[in-house]
Amino acid sequence: MENIAELEHVSKIFAGKTAVEDVSFVIPRGSVTAVLGPNGAGKTTVLSMLLGLREPSSGSVRIFGQSPKDAQVKRRIGAMLQEVSVIDGLNAREVMSMIRSYYPHPLKLTEMADLAGFTPEELNKRADKLSGGQKRRLGFALALAGDPDLLFFDEPTVGLDSTSRRTFWQQVEALAHKGKTILFSTHYLQEAEDAADRILLFNKGKIAADGTPDEIVSRLTSRSVSFIADLEDGDSYAVGEMIHRMCSIPGVRDCKEEEGRWSVTADNTDTVLAAIFRYNIPARDIRTGQGRLDDAFEVMLTHDQEKEAVSS
């Protein structure tokens, strides 16, 4: 598969502070990639380097094999940026006509109006008088004005209600079906899991994980077995022995009681179940569970913070 974008050992330092550190990845044609991470993880910085708005301190960024600043590249990309409002003094239709005049093979004005979902009245409204949601839809239509091959969406759904959010992701899916390459950043974990076929997990300016949503989940989520143990009250020997037995199973990370339920966290829940039966532990109401990506994300971050706390 042809690579649409390539980053090689890219770092970005702002006034002595490292925002992005030695990041390398390639974006194949037709992929939908989520750049996921908490605030300040370097997502927007990576995007702005891909868009040619910022120069990497070291390393190289290539889009379609060229510099992102090349006019040829700009004709084939479209983007929705964060914190971009609209131009003043023009109505929505004029803004659309203006932006589409920049591209060699633009969408028709009617197609753009459809993408934004604008009625004729909305098209005649001054762009700066549109509501927040309408401005965002205008921004979406503008991103597609040049019928681009590669699309960037920086935190596209922040501040949108759930209906608009759903509509947005449906549109993105339709674009992906048409073979567009899409890269979006988000800190909504659910969105990355649902909309992307690949997640680049960023943390502290580095790629913490790179894979399909499933891979990320299985790599980082904790699975657990929980049950109610009918141990006699005050029988500290039985409790102690059970904890000891559970913790000696390979892959078990934790065994603790919370509000009467015991929960055993492990890489492989089958071995835990086997052990429960083997040792005749008086367990009932046994449940196995797998954390969603949310949890995985949380785990990764707290994990990192702990490490940092230890090293500092």
* Span of 89-97, 241-249, 273-281, 282-290 interacting with another protein by CB under 8 A: 89-97
DSSP-derived secondary structure letter, 128: G
CB of 101 to another protein, least distance (A): 4
Examine residue 158 and tell whether it contacts another protein (CB under 8 A): no
Residue 290 has, within 13 A of its CA and on its CB side, a CA count of 13
Which of 88, 121, 258, 285 contacts another protein by CB under 8 A?
Answer: 88
Q: Binding mask 45-74 vs another protein (x if CB under 8 A, - otherwise)?
A: ------xxxx----------------x--x
Strand partners, 186: 36
Examine residue 109 and tell whether it contacts another protein (CB under 8 A): no
Size of the site for another protein (CB under 8 A): 27
Residue type, 121: E
Examine residue 43 and tell whether it contacts another protein (CB under 8 A): no
Examine residue 146 and tell whether it contacts another protein (CB under 8 A): yes
Examine residue 89 and tell whether it contacts another protein (CB under 8 A): yes
Q: Which of 139, 149, 61, 161 is nearest to 105 (CA)?
A: 149
Q: How many CB atoms lie within 10 A of CB 200?
A: 24
Q: Which of 160, 120, 121, 107 is nearest to 137 (CA)?
A: 160
Overall residue count recorded for the chain in this entry:
312
User: 68-79: string of b/e by CB count within 10 Å (b at 16+)?
Assistant: beeeebbbbbbb
Residue numbers 113-132 binding another protein by CB under 8 A: none
CB of 87 to another protein, least distance (A): 5
Pick 70 or 257: Cβ nearer another protein? 70
Tokens 């065994």, located at residue: 255
Pick 137 or 223: Cβ nearer another protein? 137
Q: Which residues contact 168 (CB under 8 A, 6 or more apart)?
A: 140, 156, 157, 160
Examine residue 84 and tell whether it contacts another protein (CB under 8 A): yes
- Beginning with the edge strand found earlier in the chain, give each strand of the sheet holding 58-63 in spatial order: 17-28, 3-14, 58-63
CB of 84 to another protein, least distance (A): 4
Residue type, 126: R
Which of 2, 28, 40, 102 contacts another protein by CB under 8 A?
Answer: 102
Q: Which of 104, 1, 9 is nearest to 62 (CA)?
A: 9
Pick 51 or 192: Cβ nearer another protein? 51
Pick 6 or 94: Cβ nearer another protein? 94
Q: Which residues bind another protein (CB under 8 A)?
A: 14, 51-54, 71, 74-75, 77, 79, 81, 83-90, 94, 97-99, 101-103, 146
